[in-house]
Every structure is written in C-alpha cells, then in structure tokens.
C-alpha cells in the first residue's frame, strides 16, 4: 500500500512528457499536461481524447493504425506492420518462410542432441583453411537453452495461429451476418420505397376529395351559424361583430357588403335577408351606412302572395340606457322586380341607401357600436302597424316572448285609439325619435331605392 513517504518519493521522480520535450518532477507533470495537452491526440490515427490514460488504452487495444513488430522478429521476420494488417501478415510468404526456417533449425538442433554425444563435443576444423586449429565446445546447457527458446517460439506461433484462426472464423461469421443484414435492409428499403410511392399516390387521389370536403364543411358551418339566428315571425335581430375590421374592408373595397342570416315570416312563409353596406352604396358611399332588404327564393313560394307589399322597418339599436335607436322604414314598390316571386336564389336588393350617417357610428364612444359589435333589428309589418307605434314596438325588451310583445303593442294601440275617440289631444311621448322623416301614405320616399337603379355599384347579387 502506498504510504506518505512513498508518495513523497514519487513526487520527486524526474520524468519526460510523452507529448512534448518537457521534463521535470512528477509533481509538476499533471499541471503541465492539463495546461499544454488538455486533449491529447493519437499520433497514429489523429483521434482526440480527454485524458492521457484514455490515449494509452487506445494505443494498446484500439488503434488500428499503430505499427508493431512481428512476434517472430528475433527469428528473422523483420517486418513491422499495422495492427489491423497483422492477420494478413501472418499469411504472407515472408512470414511463412520464417516459420519454415525456424522449424528447420529446430530439427537440426534436435538431431545433435547432447544426450547422445556426451556432455561435450569437439569439432576439428581443417588446418589448411585458416592456418590454425580451432576447437568449438558446445555444452549441453547451451543447447538446452536454445531448444527451450525454439519451443517457446513455437508455442508463441501456435498461440498466434490459433488466435488468427479464431479471428478468421469470427470475421467470417460477422461477414455472413452483415451480408444477411444488408440483404434484409435492401429488401426493407425496397418495400418502404414502394409503400411511400403507394402512399403518395393515395394522398394525390384523396386531395381533391379533401378540398371538396373542406368546402362542404365550411358551407355546413355557415349553415349552422345561420341556423342559430333563424326567425319565423318576420323579425330578425342581427348581431354584427368585428365592426372595425368589416368597415375597413368596406372602405378599401375588399368586401363592400355583408349579408345577414335568412329569416322567415312563418314556418311556411317568405324567406328574407338583409344586405348591409358599412361604407355606403352609390350616392351614399363614404357618407352613410346603406341597408337593403332582400327577398329570397323559399320552399313555399308557390303558395304565397306576390308581389311582396309589406312594410319593412330597420332599427339600429342604441346600446346605452338612452335608447335613442335609429329607425327607418319603407314600403315596397310592387312594380319593382325586387318584390316579385324570386326566380333565382335572391332578388335584387332594395332598401334605404342613407340609413345612418357614418359619423354617428365612427365617433368615439358612440352608443351604437359597443365592444366592436352592433345590433340591427329588421321587422316586416304584416299587420299594418301605425307609424306612431313603431318607436314603442322597437323599444320593447327583445328578451320578451313574442306573444308578450304583441300583447303590449295591442294594449298601447288600444290606449291610443281610446284617447283619439274621446277627443283627447295629449302629446304622445315617444321613447325613440325617428332620425328621418317618413313619407305620407301613398307618397314616394326619396331615400328608398332598389339596387337595380342605374348607380355605380347597383346590380349586386
């Protein structure tokens, strides 16, 4: 076991660096090596290592480029070969000739075994050759030593040959295994390539179907979104979100108009919708918001009365507590194609181009656009409601059931009728004043037109 004195003696040993010309004491070697050779490199194969110990292990066992002498170098095989080529060297003619020479020398020595000729042997040399007599004495000890060396060489050779044979068998077996693996991988690669080609052809085949499916899903989604707003009583409360974005789209003509979901007068009645131009249409462009009524082709049109001649009222809700709603209405022109029985998906839109000045919905903190959302109510009057009742009807809580709204409207109508009958002339206070003056019955409203009139943007469908 190393003790303190042993360690102190070790520190004073003089050593030479294995990587450079540095020399000094052992205690300073580690600091030198870490500073000058942090990552030693094998001088044979140029591979880099993290420590000198790992480099030594690599040189002793792993490096295939390192050279070493043949085990029979002392018997005449002077070749130095790379470690990886040592097996090939054993099979070379040079090495085989050395083996034959060693065997022949062994045979000669065995033929002159000292046990048969005595402990000593004198050999006379012809005197006339050198002019003198030389006597060579070979002792049995010397001969035994030589024979022992030969036997050790033969054992070394036999051990090396066995190792070589084992390595040859291992390499052969490994070669067969690798060849089998290569064939298997080649088959797998061919199968994978065929599978990829089939998959690519399959994907190319389903791509058109996928596009059709996406279109159908988008259409179905639109129908589902529209279905939640479907009304069957001739009224529609249209919620419009992302108003700023849609106004910007209209301003830059990316999308000048938007359509409401369809609604119906009854379960088997007229099918209708509303078209909104947020930046105005025709003469009202950039000054007013335009709102138009659209009659659509419905499943029960064959039973219905045409032309369509029922009054349509639009209301832009004031979302503040004042409830100063913007209300306007028009009565259809029965001579217009907009109100005949639809022959295509939609008739030409007709309505109020100057429904609301843009300044009212563009000014900051206006009550009509809150949280980037506004609400428009559309009401088709099938009962010829008096104009004085419109503000009251539109100011009712939209959350009330339809029959409750009708009851309140009827009570209000009866009250106004009774006041008129008894001759009272009390002023009627309306909750929501109308922003535009309505035309008298039978008069034409100049603010009402169809999109099919000769205007710059008319004729949209």
The pTM of this model reads: 0.46
Q: Which residues of 224-259 are buried (b: 16+ CB within 10 A; e: fewer)?
A: eeeeeeebebbbbbbebeebeebbebbeeeeebbee
Q: How far is CA 74 from CA 70, 99, 152, 459, in A?
A: 9, 12, 12, 111
DSSP 64: S
Q: Please identify which residue in the block is written with the tokens 């009570």.
A: 411
Let me know: does 278 contact 288? Beta carbons within 8 Å: no
- What's the whole-number mean pLDDT along residues 278-306? 94
User: For position 371, what pLDDT does the model report?
Assistant: 93
The whole-number pLDDT of residue 446 equals 44
Q: Which structural domains are found in the chain, ordered by start? A: 1-65 (no CATH), 67-115+140-198 (no CATH), 229-417+428-450 (2.60.210.10)
What's the CA gap between 9 and 112, in Å, rounded? 54
Helices (H), 42-121: 52-57, 86-90, 93-111, 114-117
Residue 437 CA from chain centroid, whole number: 59
- Average pLDDT for 205-216: 84
Placement of tokens 């249409």 in the chain? 281
Hey, which residues does 273 pair with through a beta bridge? 294
Nearest Cα residue to 236 out of 374, 378, 359: 378
CB contact set of 331 (below 8 Å; sequence gap of 6+): 309, 311, 312, 445
pLDDT-based confidence at residue 113 (cuts at 50, 70, 90):
low
163-179 residue pLDDT tens: 887 888 888 888 888 98
Strands of 235-240's sheet, edge to edge?
Answer: 235-240, 374-381, 311-316, 326-330
Tokens of 335: 């001579």
Question: Alpha-carbon torsion 42, 44, 47, 53, what sign?
Answer: negative
**What proportion of the chain, given as a percentage, has pLDDT over 90?**
30
List, for residues 124-142, the tens digit of each pLDDT value: 333 332 333 233 334 445 6
- The number of beta carbons lying within 10 Å of the beta carbon of residue 421 is 8
| DSSP secondary structure letters along 185-230 | HHHHHHHHHHHHHHHHHHHHHHHHHHHHHHHHHHHHHHHHHHHTT-
């Amino acid at each position: 076991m190393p003790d303190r004195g042993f360690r102190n003696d070790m520190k004073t040993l003089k050593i030479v660096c294995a990587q450079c010309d540095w020399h000094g004491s052992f205690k300073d070697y580690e600091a030198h090596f870490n500073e000058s050779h942090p990552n030693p490199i094998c001088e044979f194969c140029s591979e880099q290592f993290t420590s000198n110990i790992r480099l030594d292990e690599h040189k002793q066992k792993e490096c295939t480029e390192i050279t070493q002498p043949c085990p029979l170098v002392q018997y005449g095989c002077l070749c130095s070969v790379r470690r990886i080529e040592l097996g090939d060297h054993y099979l070379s003619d040079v090495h085989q000739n050395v083996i034959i020479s060693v065997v022949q020398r062994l045979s000669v020595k065995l033929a002159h075994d000292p046990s048969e000729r005595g402990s000593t042997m004198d050999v006379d040399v012809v005197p006339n050759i050198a002019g003198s007599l030389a006597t060579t004495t070979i002792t049995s000890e010397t001969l035994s030593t030589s024979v022992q060396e030969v036997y050790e060489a033969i054992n070394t050779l036999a051990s090396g040959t066995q190792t070589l044979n084992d390595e040859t068998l291992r390499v052969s077996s490994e070669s067969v295994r690798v060849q089998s693996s290569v064939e298997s991988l080649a088959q797998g690669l061919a199968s994978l390539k065929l599978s990829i080609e089939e998959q690519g052809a399959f994907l190319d085949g389903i791509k058109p179907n996928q596009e059709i499916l996406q279109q159908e899903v988008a259409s179905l989604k639109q129908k589902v979104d529209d279905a939640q707003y479907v009304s069957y009583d001739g009224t529609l409360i249209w919620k419009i979100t992302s108003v700023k974005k849609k106004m910007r789209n209209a301003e830059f003509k990316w999308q000048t108009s938007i359509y409401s979901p369809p609604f119906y007068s009854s379960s088997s009645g007229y099918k209708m919708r509303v078209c909104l131009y947020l930046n105005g249409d025709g003469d009202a462009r950039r000054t007013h918001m335009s709102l138009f009524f659209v009659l659509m082709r419905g499943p029960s049109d064959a039973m219905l009365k045409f032309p369509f001649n029922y009054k349509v009222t639009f209301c832009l809700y004031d979302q503040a507590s004042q409830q100063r709603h913007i209300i306007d209405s028009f009565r259809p022109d029965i001579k217009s194609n907009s109100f005949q029985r639809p022959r295509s998906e939609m008739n030409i839109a007709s309505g109020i181009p100057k429904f609301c000045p843009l300044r009212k919905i563009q000014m900051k903190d206006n009550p009509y656009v809150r949280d980037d959302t506004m609400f428009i109510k559309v009401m088709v009057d099938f009962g010829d409601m008096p104009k004085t009742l419109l503000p009251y009807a539109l100011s009712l809580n939209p959350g009330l059931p339809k029959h409750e709204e009708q009851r309140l409207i009827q009570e209000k109508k009866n009250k106004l009728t009774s006041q008129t009958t008894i001759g009272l002339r009390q002023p009627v206070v309306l909750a929501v004043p109308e922003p535009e003056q309505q035309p008298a019955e039978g008069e034409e409203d100049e603010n009402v037109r169809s999109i099919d009139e000769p205007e710059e943007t008319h004729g949209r469908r």
